[in-house]
Chains A and B, each alone.
Chain A
């Protein structure tokens, strides 16, 4: 039972990180219908910045977290402006290839700057063990879950309650109608990229702290899984991404603990395929009929 509780908390830990990253994918997909492959690299760079600020500059915790988030938010906006905006009216496939290109570019840029060898991520949160009902929990785990939940709630409030948030929802619902309503679509898309990238950077930092490593291809696997999480929950739907993230994290942890470590990823993919085959719009998605 204790083992189960322990795994449950581990699952929440991984799940909250996936959820954070998945939000970025889902928001971007919702607004410009593009799988932003570069999102994984945004989180990787976020982790590298945090690493630099924590080791070379000895900055306090809040700066180690917030400054990379701001930098990566700007980087996300820049990527959209340079690479995706010229292709907004091009076929979807070209935009997708561009996203792959940007992703490869950023990966190799990191390889060039930071070299291939993994760096050891310092423990940026104070480390203590907290005993909770017979289960030992690492404080880093608690901070990870807490921080992710905090930012997710913040985002959710922002999207639902503020004027800009309403603009984001309006543009993802119907871009043309949003233009007619006087919404600045370009600015709204930039805003979406900024928010998604900031959360992605935070996810990257938390991921690298959890796995104590930073390396140039850090973003690939969690990026892919977070993307699966976004699809699982229903792509374009923010609460869906959160739900999907937690499900993927939980499934992965439980498979690793009780079935097999090497098959864990395969089971994640099998669930994804089953969901897509039986409910292609994801768990929270609504079915829309295709019109002739």
Chain B
């Protein structure tokens, strides 16, 4: 392990732990009430959703407008599983049940993603976008009509397993997993397909295989996000997972910058927290939000971060550098 890498690990670990401590203290001292904790949990879930969507939309560069459908499958399958597990009477700690439910939700959704992705990824661009809208709507209509999961009335009786403490660490783990995926051999192959599909095929990359892989991994994590959502709300209904919700997630990814995971994280935080802060102007809130979207696209179409990643280490380095420069300039004047 080289020196820079170790330094980056240390800085990131310290910042993650200290951020957790800040939240921990705020919650313990009751500065953050239940409402704010709720926003923080939703933000974590949206971070997972945006990052997972970024695998297809950003890394692979394909338009996927059906992420809500995958989230729905994850939410429903995990909730169904956890209810069944609770019914058997086996006493497991909450966190174990939650993680098992997430894994079930992730695998089921990943499988569906694989089945949908295999035929549809032959299409590209707008057409792929339309097909993903179609599948997501079919999934929603399926859950409206599917009696075992409560139909249109929704699935009730889910135990609320998600707390800020566990969702924070789960989100951190998923962030690390997706980052690692992006830098792995597979992740780089996917990015090369985005850059030039024909060239990467000529370089010996089985493009169809990696496209389906990206789609499957993306839906796997979307399913996990859906599982968290189900076990936070303790209730899932089909009307949550509409076309507009897919669009909302897509907007987060684009605003953060397609292909930039840190961008997705920042945009997910801003776009979840900001609307809540604007609740006082409830009537104008969505008006402002949509206007901001248009203005942003006209003046900065590549999103906040473009394709680059925000790095804490580099940020600190640049701060240090500035200080050094100031010192040297200051020193120069003194002489």
Enumerate chain A interface residues (CB-CB to B < 8 A): 33, 35, 83, 86-87, 90-98, 100-105, 107-109, 111-112, 220, 224, 227-228, 231, 235, 260, 262-263, 265-266, 269-270, 272-273, 276-277, 280, 292
A102 adjacent to B294 (CB under 8 Å): yes
Q: Is B11 an interface residue (CB 8 A)?
A: no
Q: Would you list which residues of chain B between 277 and 331 have a CB under 8 Å from chain A?
A: 283-284, 286-287, 289-291, 293-294, 297-298, 301-302
Q: What are 6 inter-chain pairs, A to B, with CB distance below 8 A?
A: A93-B254, A94-B297, A102-B290, A108-B286, A224-B133, A280-B127
Q: Is the CB of A94 within 8 A of B123?
A: no
A108 with B290, Cβ < 8 A, contacts A87-B298, A90-B301, A93-B254 known: yes
B190-222 vs A, Cβ < 8 Å mask (1 yes, 0 no) = 000000001000000000000000000000000
Residue of A nearest to B295 (CB): A101
- Chain B 116-170 interface residues, beta-carbon cutoff 8 Å to A: 119-120, 122-123, 125-127, 129-131, 133-135, 137-138, 141-142, 144-145
Does the CB pair A101–B293 fall under 8 Å? yes
Q: From A232, which residue of chain B is reached at the shortest CB distance? A: B130
Contact B130 A272 (CB under 8 A): yes
Q: Give me the 4 closest cross-chain CB pairs, A-B, nearest first.
A: A94-B301, A101-B293, A104-B290, A105-B290
Additional pairs, 18, CB under 8 Å, beyond known A94-B301, A263-B145:
A35-B126, A87-B297, A87-B301, A93-B254, A93-B258, A97-B250, A100-B250, A103-B290, A107-B286, A108-B287, A111-B286, A227-B130, A262-B144, A269-B141, A272-B131, A276-B127, A276-B130, A277-B123
B window 235-280: CB within 8 A of A: 243-244, 247, 250-251, 254, 258
A97-B254, A101-B297, A292-B198 known; A273+B287 contact, CB < 8 A: no
B48 at the interface (CB under 8 A from A): no
Q: Smallest CB–CB gap between A232 and chain B, Å?
A: 10
Prevailing SS type, chain A contact patch: helix
Contacts of A107 in B (CB 8 A): 286, 290
- Residues from chain A with a CB closer than 8 A to the CB of B137 are 265-266, 269
Complex interface: chain B residues within 8 A of A86 (CB): 298
Which of A87, A103, A104, A269 is the one whose CB lies under 8 Å from B134? A269
| Interchain CA distance A109-B291 in the complex, whole Å | 11
| Distance in Å: Cβ of B195 to nearest Cβ of chain A | 14
Minimum CB–CB distance from A55 to chain B (whole Å) comes to: 24
Q: Which residues of B contact A263 (CB under 8 A)?
A: 141, 145
- Interface residue? B63 (CB, 8 A): yes
Partner pick for B119 among A93, A97, A277, CB 8 A cutoff: A277
Are A273 and B135 also in contact (CB < 8 A) when A266-B142, A292-B198 are?
yes
Distance between A274 CB and nearest chain B CB, rounded to angstroms: 10
Cβ A231 vs Cβ B130 within 8 A: yes
User: Distance (Å) between the CB of A268 and the closest chain B CB?
Assistant: 9
Known contacts being A93-B254, A104-B290, A266-B137, is A98 close to B297, with CB within 8 Å? yes
The answer for the CA separation of A92 and B127 in the assembled complex, in Å, is 13
Known: A108-B290, A269-B137, A270-B138. A91 touches B298 (CB 8 A): no
Known A-B contacts A104-B290, A105-B294; A224 and B251 likewise in contact (beta carbons under 8 Å): no
Residues of A contacting B138 in the complex (Cβ-Cβ under 8 angstroms)? 266, 269-270, 273
* A-chain residues with CB within 8 Å of residue B120 when the two chains form the complex: 273, 277
Residue of B nearest to A104 (CB): B290
Is B141 a contact of A280 with CB atoms below 8 Å?
no
Contacts of A108 in B (CB 8 A): 286-287, 290
Contact A112 B301 (CB under 8 A): no
Point out which of B123, B138, B254 has the most chain A C-beta atoms below 10 A from its C-beta: B138
Chain B min CB distance to A258 (Å):
17
Asked if A266 and B133 sit within 8 Å, CB to CB, the answer is: no
A109 to chain B, nearest CB (A): 6
A112 and B287 within 8 A (CB): yes
For the complex, what is the distance from the CA of A102 to the CA of B292, rounded to whole Å? 10
A108 to B198, CA, bound (A): 43
CB closest chain-A residue, reference B284:
A112
A105 close to B291 (CB less than 8 A): yes
Q: Say how far A101's CB is from chain B's closest CB, in angstroms.
A: 4
- Contact A97 B251, CB 8 Å, known A105-B287, A263-B141, A273-B134: yes
Whole-angstrom distance from the CB of B179 to the nearest CB of chain A?
A: 23
Residues on B with C-beta less than 8 A from A90 are: 297, 301
Question: Which residue from chain A places its CB closest to the CB of B244 in the assembled complex?
Answer: A220
A87-B298 Cα distance, complex, nearest whole Å: 6
Tell me the nearest residue of chain B to A221, going by C-beta: B243
A280 close to B123 (CB less than 8 A):
yes
Residues of A within 8 A of B294 (CB): 83, 98, 101-102, 105
- Kindly list chain B residues whose C-beta atoms are within 8 Å of the C-beta of A97: 250-251, 254, 293, 297
Name the distance in Å between B275's Cβ and chain A's nearest Cβ. Answer: 12
